[in-house]
Structure 1
Amino acid sequence: MTEPLHIVGGGMAGSEAAWQAAQAGIPVVIHEMRPRVETFAHRTGNLAEMVCSNSFRSDDDERNAVGLLHWEMRAAGGLLMEMADIHQLPAGGALAVDRDAFSAGVTERLRAHPMITVTDEEVTELPSSGSWIIATGPLTSGALAEAIRAETGAESLAFFDAIAPIVYAETVNMDVAWMQSRYDKGETIEEQTAYMNCPMTKAQYEAFIDAMLAADKTEFHEGETAGYFDGCLPIEVMAERGRDTPRHGPMKPIGLTNAHDPENKPYAVVQLRRDNALGTLFNIVGFQTKMKYGAQTDVFRMIPGLEDAKFARLGGIHRNTFLNSPTLLDGQMRLRSRPNIRFAGQVTGVEGYVESAAMGLLAARLAIAETKGQALAPPPPETAMGALVTHITGGAEAKTFQPMNVNFGLFPPIDAKGGRKGRKDRYKAYTDRAKEAFQQWLAGQS
């Protein structure tokens, strides 16, 4: 009888890893400590719960690196992409989902699988035998984190991640706000109403920035430093880096026309994106924050249209931990000192839901091949999945290693024969090359 694959953590990476292994006929045990042991960021005991944004970002698989990663996961029979497609919400060119329906769907599918067992046992030590994937994500429990530190002899690196607030749609003043996707992306009414927009004049923007900068913030514990990941900066940290930084980031007014005053261009715009299928909840895009709760309600109600807003969830901040993977993991994603253990997901130093799930998918496929006595190389670096795993297992500089989203800068350069390619053509060349290489990699496993 085949020994089970043990997976620690039922988040994005662990859920995808379990599905891949079970579909290959490998028995799986998912060790997910929730809901018996809670975390401050999770609300349920469901698998693949989304605790920050409800977006998987761009779904453009021809000119966008994360869209290409979507394509690769679909091609590999990924459960999370299937569930995302089923529970998709209108969001212009982005793949946003109803977070509760999505996680419930993943949980139901995994718990119903005859090859999968889910236990709420908390794993506190590194196992010395058996095949394991540790996919505990950025909220690895204290006991297990200490066990990892004791084994590796090195401190896990850390950065701080922040959660954006969610607003009840019915409390937004639509006499001020209006519905529009940036650049009018979206062909259906649902797509065109995926975003609410709240306009600001220059005076309103300046007052808002002043209030954010002066607001009470979450204090860090002694000895902690705030090494934020640039792709998820708290909004007030953006403002600290320059008063106009938010206006050139999540509050940029370009591609939007105020339906209530089309002749006057807003100085800045706050966007809210639909967060559930009913359209009753909207999250404030890019407004991750470390402001204290009382300060958040006061400051965010300064946004025109949100004067009487009620919040389903306020923003928050938490410490994310990740391995110095280029030093600790081999090319098969195994812990060098304990090769029976693989790591997957955000704890390896990838950033984002999709990237985390993709590393879960890959770790499982490598473990499946090993269990069957086969040799499987990771996908070639020309693919999105291959570019990510190459980065975390040796492509990055260990001394300066930081969490990374998938991007074309991680791919081997395109040989632009016959002259310099335009950016769009070059990105299309990257995705065409990647798709061919990924299909060949999949074909080699059949």
Structure 2
Amino acid sequence: MSTADHTLHIIGGGMAGSEAAWQAAQMGVNVVIHEMRPKVGTFAHKTGHLAEMVCSNSFRSDDDEQNAVGLLHWEMRAAGGLIMEMADRHALPAGGALAVDRDPFAASVTERLLAHPRITLDGDEITALPEDGTWIIATGPLTSGALAEAIAAETGQESLAFFDAIAPILYFDSIDMSKAWMQSRYDKGETEEERTAYLNCPMDRDQYEAFIDALLAAEKTEFKPGETAGYFDGCLPIEVMAERGRETLRHGPMKPVGLTNPHQPDIKAHAVVQLRRDNALGTLYNIVGFQTKMKYGAQTEVLRMIPGLEEARFARLGGIHRNTFINSPTLLDAQMRLRKRPNLRFAGQITGVEGYVESAAMGLLAGRMAAAEILGQPVEGPPQETAMGALIHHITGGAEAKTFQPMNVNFGLFPPLDGVRGGRRGRKERYKGYTDRAKAAWMDWLGQPLAAE
């Protein structure tokens, strides 16, 4: 089939939709991105840019030998991924993690996509499932109400949902540096900038106990009648963690290990709140792991109890929203197509992967597979030994449909290794075995005749 005869349509210009568009266009397919913003806004988006991210730290670890998400980065880079290229270009110091300067990142992704001769942008909202043509639905956790209803009607079941929370962002110049200090945990990083990528606020036992009391007593966002709070464990509100036990936060985002307070080097902090730079200028910092459902007034009161943040000014307070996803194991085939309507593919968080990197990775696969189909070169999905193959296998059949919940990439999704001893002491060897095997399998898969000559 000639590429002139067939256009790929993508609903949603977030991480998944942007990557899908780039991959398909690079393969020689014409693409239309249907993105309703800025005509129709959402509470989480502030601009009309494509791939606008909610968190600067969304990419997490960049270790491609010992971490599954770092391996996912590697696979995306090897596939010429636009999202990873722009993330690397706009990276911020974050120790061993990959954090990005959000606004320049999104602006660069938008510029590159709109400059591509095979990509056009349509700003109208899509409210119904298209009957004809080849489409990818990559609308993410904030799918518009009308389209969500159309998806639910087509699949014959209510959309599944959990609640996702975002952390507050504050201005650096409002932090009291006579109490706070800059240090990455265990001084991790190769450069001084990386070793001081985090801002730390210490608490003694009394301060921690008072903070927990205030957190538990604070006024929270109430759910609508009939809604139940099914949270994703990787993004729990701090109040929910505190409700699980008074020491939970001290062993989670507020753990004090690997840090020495230069203001009081002989005194071990009972707990430490960490902040990470949120933009290249260093004027904004987000509170790491402090997703919250506290109401705005309560947030400012409680968070200003943290030593060093007594006079904090907030650029954005935290919040909570409903995150919609489909039951992919029952609805999608191995090509990420809706079984009842194979002209429709799904990609991104709506498929039940959790995390912006995972979302973009599923966009990469959907874009490549849709383009290959249009070009008359259909391919199988990547092997399960790869990070992307493990994810797509999980969401399209590997997960138990009755208990399906969003999942980050992790080595538990990979087939077991042969000849590598198990147990805790063999973890590094085991993880290195996973990544070595995955890289070889991924390059073999990429070597298939995917691109149009």
* TM more than 0.5: yes
* Equivalent position SS for 2:5: coil
Q: Deviations over 1:88-108 (max 9, x none)?
A: 000000000001111011011
- Structure 2 CA distance for aligned equivalents of residues 229 and 268 of structure 1: 24
Aligned with 1:267 (options 260, 267, 270) = 270
Q: How many residues align?
A: 446
- Shift in Å, 1:416: 2.6
Match of 1:28 in 2: 31
Is 1:54–1:99's contact at 8 Å kept on the other side of the alignment? no
Match of 1:391 in 2: 394
Match of 2:434 in 1: 430
Is 1:53–1:164's contact at 8 Å kept on the other side of the alignment? no
Q: Deviations over 1:344-381 (max 9, x none)?
A: 00000000010000000000111011101122011100
* 1:70 counterpart = 2:41: no
Is 1:167–1:312's contact at 8 Å kept on the other side of the alignment? yes
- Shift in Å, 1:125: 0.5
Aligned with 1:61 (options 50, 61, 64) = 64
Match of 1:101 in 2: 104
Match of 2:369 in 1: 366
- Shift in Å, 1:432: 0.2
* 1:239 counterpart = 2:229: no
**Aligned-partner residue type, residue 21 of structure 1:** A
- Shift in Å, 1:75: 0.2
- Structure 2 CA distance for aligned equivalents of residues 250 and 418 of structure 1: 31
* Equivalent position SS for 1:346: helix
* Equivalent position SS for 1:243: coil
Using a 3 Å threshold, how does the CA distance of structure 1 residues 418 and 356 change in structure 2: closer, same or farther? closer
- Structure 2 CA distance for aligned equivalents of residues 386 and 419 of structure 1: 23
Q: Deviations over 1:127-175 (max 9, x none)?
A: 1110000000000000000000110101111000001000100110000
Identical-residue share of aligned pairs (%): 78
Is 2:58–2:357's contact at 8 Å kept on the other side of the alignment? no
Match of 1:315 in 2: 318
Q: Deviations over 1:282-338 (max 9, x none)?
A: 000000000000000000000000000000100000000000000000111000110
Is 2:421–2:430's contact at 8 Å kept on the other side of the alignment? no
Using a 3 Å threshold, how does the CA distance of structure 1 residues 54 and 301 change in structure 2: closer, same or farther? same
After TM superposition, where is structure 1 displaced by more than 4 Å over at least 4 residues in a row? 417-421
Is 1:47–1:103's contact at 8 Å kept on the other side of the alignment? yes
Match of 1:174 in 2: 177
Match of 1:6 in 2: 9
Q: Deviations over 1:394-424 (max 9, x none)?
A: 0000000000000000000111357867100
Match of 2:161 in 1: 158
Q: Where do 5+ consecutive residues of structure 1 fail to align? A: none
TM-score normalised by length of structure 2: 0.97
**Aligned-partner residue type, residue 443 of structure 1:** G
Is 2:55–2:102's contact at 8 Å kept on the other side of the alignment? no
Q: CA RMSD in A?
A: 1.0
Match of 2:135 in 1: 132
- Shift in Å, 1:262: 1.0
Using a 3 Å threshold, how does the CA distance of structure 1 residues 164 and 185 change in structure 2: closer, same or farther? same
Matches within 5 A, 1:251-400: 251-400=254-403
- Shift in Å, 1:266: 0.5
- Structure 1 CA distance for aligned equivalents of residues 220 and 122 of structure 2: 37
* Equivalent position SS for 2:202: strand
* 1:191 counterpart = 2:217: no
TM-score normalised by length of structure 1: 0.99
**Aligned-partner residue type, residue 376 of structure 1:** V
* 1:81 counterpart = 2:71: no
- Structure 2 CA distance for aligned equivalents of residues 423 and 189 of structure 1: 29
